[in-house]
Chain A
Amino acid sequence: MTLLAPRPPVAEASPDDRPDIPLALKPGRTTADWVFRVILGTAGVLVLALLVAVVLFMCIHSVPALKKNGLQFITSDVWSPPASFGILGALAGSVMVAALALVVALPVSVGTALMINEFAPVRLRSWLTGVVDLLATIPSIVYGLWGLLALSNYLYGTTVWLDHHASFIPLFRTQSAQTYGNSIFLCSVVVAIMIIPIITSISREVMSQCPRETCEASLALGGTRWGMMTDVILPFSRNGIVGGALLGLGRALGETMAVVLILSTTNTLTWAILGPKGLGSISYLTATSFEVSPGITQSALTVAGLTLFVTTLVINLVARRIVGRTKVAAS
């Protein structure tokens, strides 16, 4: 009972008649804190400056070509510098390689991610995740080397078969009859193999954040495993998969070494992907002819590079946003 006894009023107890309000604490920013923040901020500014410098330098260097050729630059596919620089053939090639690679890689990656998360024995799971992450780190020149020297032999039969039996589809044709190899087709397959680990890794991570209770509820209600995947896991991780696919697309668009090693192009606009002398690629053009070209051609290549840079920048930005949103929603 003594505990519940009314306390004496505070005002009476305090000797100096001050009202009982909390002190406003000043945030403890000392001078050292400000110095520290300035140092951190400077590093941040440096990173930002790097991006600005990249864009700025490329913009400055692309002015001469744009002045000379104007819009024809993007609408023409005739690349014969210094008379004409149409990058449409190269741009279409970059997009074609990336798109085909994505078409091949996306279902395979989603299937692999599902395998690791749902089908593989629990003990193997972290090991398989490690393998996929490792494969994402293998240098692209190794992929390119393997594609050029090993895969091309295995794919030769497929290429010939596609040419003979599937040429009613405009894609599966060659530029000149019976010439195969060094093709956009081979190149996309190699790039697909390169981006499979990237897409798999991100989709798997997002899928693993799917609440286990919901999955088990679906199974407990008598659903099949496939039912659980299509009704619970895939809807939950849709954004993550889209984001992963976009990241893979960004990587595929900018991929250089596999393209440089494999392709042999004339940058002409065509649908045929089975033979050499077809579409080019921006990274291919830049890597192979930048150094040996006169100033105005370099300027044209810079515009092409700038186009590529901005495109991948935007794609990556969107992708990261989508993946990040799913992660936040999951946690």
Chain B
Amino acid sequence: MSIVVGQAPNLGPDVAGGHGSTHPDRPSRHRKMPQGMATEAVGSAVASFALVWLVLTLTAAGASAVGFGVFWVMGFLLTYGLLTWRLHGVLLMKERLATVFVWGSSLVALVPLVAIIVYVIVHGFAAVFSGFPHFFFADMSQFSSARSPVTQAGMVAAIVGTVEQVGLATIFSVPIAVLTATYLNESTGTFARVLGTVVDSMTGTPSIIAGLFVYLLWVQPHGTSGKSGLAAAMALTVLMLPFVTRSAQEVLLVVPGSLREAALALGAPQWRVVLRVVLPTARTGMVTAVILGIARVVGETAPLLLATSASSHTNWNPFRGIQSDLPLQIYSLVTQPGVNATKVAWGGAFVLVLVVLTLFTLARIVGSSRPGQRRLPWRRSKAVAA
């Protein structure tokens, strides 16, 4: 019973208190490259290059650029591994090879992705701006893939179609998606669990299946007049609904429980809590979810293949007759013979990527505001001023 309770052992002021004030307890990061790492890596690369070249020349085997590259990479890994193993031991060898793997794989991942964007911009820019306003103000009726120059092409039919179809799909899917997400957030029963599972698994529906479904449901029963912008919008809805529901559900999860409980404790009925507290708190998140949903479906091509088809004339009415849209127009141009058709297709892809990029940036800006912030970010300055 000699244990002294409530009295810390006297460790002196240095250990007990001096820690926090002078050295903030922040994890440090090694910024410097380990000494000799660059030399070893570059040396190995040069050595393996020389070795592979020597062997291939001596054996007179010769190799294409691809073969040389394959052997060089293999030789480099071998040389570098051996070198670091002899110099630093097996642990650091693994570390160095892992570093090569991590940076190498990011290179493999990011290079094609950057290449795609560069390709689309370079090739698309030429098509879009060769006869500048024409591309956005004319339709395809003057353009025939075999003879016409790129300047004769216009995307207005496709752009009108895309805007109307995606707009309709948004109108169809967003209210249901928000209500369903709210339901999933508010209920805990068996039905809610089943529904959550269904929404989860439907987010990955192959896009062609959506088109197939709409074809069977709508296009086929309506015969020759079945294909329309409306059918396309329905196909997009099938894809958009689960996606927006899921994103909205994740947004609602972030709403602090204390807010809801405070409202309930004040005696508010559930519907008022949801409409006046939960949904307004999640508003910016909801907007982000919807924008991302639009960005996701705006370039979907497969579901539209069976729902409508590319046409050269502008059709403002989505409910009657075939209505073209951007992805289908691009697809139809690629499958046509002729160099100019391909060029125009790049122009279409450029517009599409631009739209997706804009939507994505918009979503990031809106989404960067905190949950519960009532004002959208671009109005923040006014709020501060007021």
Contact = CB atoms under 8 A, between A and B. Distances in A.
Given A40-B186, A43-B179, A257-B302, A139 B327 contact: yes
Interface string B263-292: 010010111001000000000000000001
Interface string A46-68: 11101101100110010000000
Interface in A109-157: 109-112, 114-116, 118-119, 122, 130-131, 133-135, 137-143, 145-146, 148-151, 157
A290 B110 contact: no
B299 interface: yes
Contacts of A28: 264, 267, 269-270
A212 B27 CA distance: 10
B222 interface: no
B84 to A, nearest CB: 12
Nearest to B298: A139
B191 A44 contact: yes
Contact of B109 (A46, A61, A109, A212): A109
B200 interface: yes
A247 B204 contact: yes
A225 B179 CA distance: 46
A317 B201 CA distance: 5
B334 A50 contact: no
A151 B70 CA distance: 18
Interface residues of B, number: 94
A184 interface: no
B306 interface: yes
A282 to B, nearest CB: 8
B190 interface: no
A115 B106 contact: yes
Contacts of B64: 157, 160-161
A115 B105 contact: yes
B92 A141 contact: no
Interface in A4-34: 28-30, 32-33
Nearest to A104: B108
Given A114-B102, A161-B67, A142 B95 contact: no
A146 B98 CA distance: 31
B238 A283 contact: no
Chain B binding surface, main DSSP class: helix
B209 A308 contact: yes
B192 interface: yes
Contact of B356 (A30, A137, A312, A316): A137
Contacts of A227: 91, 94-95
A193 interface: yes
B242 interface: yes
A69 to B, nearest CB: 19
A43 B208 contact: no
B213 A146 contact: no
A251 interface: yes
Interface string B202-244: 1111111101110111000000000000000000001001100
A72 interface: no
Interface string B352-366: 110011001000100
A136 to B, nearest CB: 9
Contacts of B198: 47-48, 51
B295 interface: yes
B299 A139 contact: yes
A226 B202 CA distance: 37
Interface stretch (B12-20, B115-123, B254-262, B369-377): B115-123
A44 B184 contact: yes
Interface string B320-351: 00000001001100100000001001100100
B133 to A, nearest CB: 24
B301 A313 contact: no
Contacts of B192: 44
Contact of A196 (B104, B109, B205): B109
A78 to B, nearest CB: 23
Most B-side CB within 10 Å, residue of A134, A140, A148: A134
B168 interface: no
A139 B301 contact: yes
Interface string A222-257: 001111010000000000000000010011011111
B116 A146 contact: yes
B206 A253 contact: yes
Nearest to B176: A43
A158 B64 CA distance: 9
A141 B330 contact: yes
B243 to A, nearest CB: 11
Interface string A274-318: 000000000100110011000000000110010011001111110
Given A139-B327, A283-B302, 15 more contacts: A28-B267, A43-B175, A44-B183, A44-B184, A48-B198, A58-B213, A108-B105, A115-B103, A157-B64, A158-B66, A161-B66, A227-B91, A254-B207, A286-B208, A316-B204
Closest 3 pairs (CB-CB, A-B): A139-B299, A254-B206, A111-B105
